[in-house]
Structure 1
């Protein structure tokens, strides 16, 4: 039932009723908003308070924390090591997010082009890869790149790369992050590919047929018709991928356990872990955690504005 807030006279003198938006959708959102505020608000509040205090091992055993203001931020963010970790984390995040979405887009287009058992096989393969437990996936990649018995080194030696015999991928910074990228991309591509493929299935065949009748070729149909229609889906999965890749932790930690130089291969999540659990500097870890929250919002900001413009259009 539509309610009105009053009437006004139009140019012709006819009364026009103004419709009031129903309140039911907003009421239904209240439980979800309250749950988010409770589930996310308190941890953020605790991080803010802790970052303004001296909070270390003694405080874990009951000693009262001392208020120090912004001293933790000044101490942490004047350390060049922190900014080196930030730079590595941003580069790792953006490179992997772009590669993941690019590969996922290619697979989604391929799935739309093929038919029958080929498409089903691709979908099952992607789902199995996506469902693989994280620890199992990282363990497989550690075996593949093991410097003693790894298949990758063996293949490279067989094709003539003698310098790869016994090469330790995880002991060198650049090759460590290369392996880490393989793990992250391999585990993320299935979600991206299936999401974009779901968007591609919503493209009307009548629109594509009309384009073919007008003389458009396959490349023109892909870039001028299909891509604009699925651009919102690509924007969403790219946004999610940037957020997830910035917060990557377990993959890096498990690879570091294989003998990597920890201080040189830390990303932000691992650096926070080392500060808090390793050095018992919980106040410093809280300060870096809040910085990661702000950095996430900054990186996600352009995509959120884009999505809002798409929704308003």
Structure 2
């Protein structure tokens, strides 16, 4: 083979050089806080050490033994996992439907849908939470008013957050609303890469629309679908803002997810080291999702 052997030896360094600035920036922004949180989780910091500046006493694994032996902690873990599964499932199902709709519409309709998705994606979480709080307000909520107009339905002054199941349904709607644009646009981009000849050949062979989707369309977009699903799971597992804002900064224990639980333990109960330990366990759980995400990215790169 012809070519410069030295150039071939230098070429593998190029990708690392390209990502080095981003890696260094992330290390500078996140490295010290993460290291400080890890250290804090092995200490026993109270308000005395916080205000005096004294070094907190070393507690070893005591904080982890405390939370891992607490039944409520495992309840929060299970609640977080279930909430994540529901949000991801709804997001990906709705995102795939919107992507298919965009693919089958005219260019101007597709442009309108894309503009709406970008507007939703650009909407701050605080604004989205305020809008949904107004929609489901017990006194002036539009949802209660609309549903009460149905025969036999009376939801006047109905508080959706009295029942955690109904409250989490509203919070799930906020999370899915904010995540839907990314899923829909990503899946639509994957759909545009499918050669029309493949689906046309399946139709000529007598395949029904459902069979075309199952055996031709979905396998073609599966790498992107799995990658986006994994990324959504990582994001939804760490949901905090939506719950905090929807509950007015005072979420009940029935609405605790891991992110909320860690924050409450740290800054409301003032058990800083316990909150750090919960956050560290959350990070370890998220790393499992990150590993799956990276594996999917590598597989996608190999396919390409």
State the TM-score, normalizing by the size of structure 2.
Answer: 0.90
| C-alpha displacement of 1:302 | 4.1
Q: Residue 216 of structure 1 aligns to a residue in which SS? A: coil
Residues of 1 paired with 2:255 and 2:153: CA distance? 26
Residues of 2 paired with 1:273 and 1:178: CA distance? 22
**Post-superposition CA distance 1:237-288 (Å, at most 9, x none):** 1111111111111110011118x75121111111111111111211111101
CA RMSD in angstroms, aligned pairs only:
2.3
| C-alpha displacement of 1:170 | 1.6
Is structure 2 residue 241 aligned with structure 1 residue 240?
no
Deviates more, 1:144-153 or 1:32-41: 32-41
**Pick aligned residue for 2:81 from 90, 97, 109:** 90
Is structure 2 residue 15 aligned with structure 1 residue 25?
yes
Is structure 2 residue 135 aligned with structure 1 residue 134?
no
Residues of 1 paired with 2:172 and 2:209: CA distance? 32
Whose Rg is larger? 1
**Pick aligned residue for 1:276 from 266, 289, 301:** 266
**Post-superposition CA distance 1:52-86 (Å, at most 9, x none):** 11112122211221111011111222222211111
Q: Residue 171 of structure 1 aligns to a residue in which SS? A: coil
Residues of 2 paired with 1:34 and 1:123: CA distance? 34
**Pick aligned residue for 2:29 from 21, 31, 39:** 39
Equivalent pairs counted in the alignment come to 300
The answer for the alignment partner of 2:288 in structure 1 is 298
Residues of 1 paired with 2:114 and 2:21: CA distance? 36
**Pick aligned residue for 2:198 from 193, 202, 207:** 207
Contact 1:196 1:230 in 2 (8 A): yes
Matches within 5 A, 1:188-207: 188-207=179-198
Residues of 1 paired with 2:154 and 2:69: CA distance? 40
| Structure 1, unaligned runs of 5 or more | 6-18
Deviates more, 1:162-171 or 1:51-60: 162-171
Residues of 1 paired with 2:130 and 2:152: CA distance? 25
**Post-superposition CA distance 1:136-194 (Å, at most 9, x none):** 11111111111112121122221134452221002221111010001111111111101
Deviates more, 1:201-210 or 1:288-297: 201-210
Is structure 2 residue 213 aligned with structure 1 residue 222?
yes
**Pick aligned residue for 2:278 from 288, 291, 299:** 288
The answer for the alignment partner of 1:108 in structure 2 is 99
The answer for the alignment partner of 2:159 in structure 1 is 168
Residues of 2 paired with 1:272 and 1:280: CA distance? 11
**Post-superposition CA distance 1:21-80 (Å, at most 9, x none):** 623333333333333333333222111111111112122211221111011111222222
Q: Residue 161 of structure 2 aligns to a residue in which SS? A: helix
| Structure 2, unaligned runs of 5 or more | none
Contact 1:268 1:292 in 2 (8 A): yes
State the TM-score, normalizing by the size of structure 1.
Answer: 0.88
Residues of 2 paired with 1:311 and 1:201: CA distance? 18
| C-alpha displacement of 1:307 | 4.2
